[in-house]
Amino acid sequence: MSAPVILVTGAAKRIGAEISRHLHQLGYRLVLHYYKSETAAQALQQELNARTPDSVLLICQDLVQLEQLPSMAERAVNCFGQLDGVINNASSFYPTPFASSTPAQWQDLMSTNAAAPYFLSQALLPALRSSQGSIVNIVDIHAEKGLQDHLLYSMAKNALATLTRGLANELAPNIRVNGIAPGAILWPAHNLSEQQKQHVLSSIPMGRLGQAHEIAETVAFLLAGPTYLTGQIIALDGGRSCRGLSEA
Catalytic residues: 153
Q: How many residues would you count in the chain? A: 248
Using alpha carbons, select from 163, 230, 243 the residue that is nearest to residue 201.
Answer: 243
User: DSSP class of residue 49?
Assistant: H
Integer Cα distance of 56 and 176 in angstroms: 24
Element (H, E) at 7: strand 5-8
Decide if 64 contacts 90 (C-beta within 8 A): no
Beta-bridged to residue 239, according to DSSP, are none
Neighbouring C-alpha atoms within 13 Å toward the C-beta of 176: 20
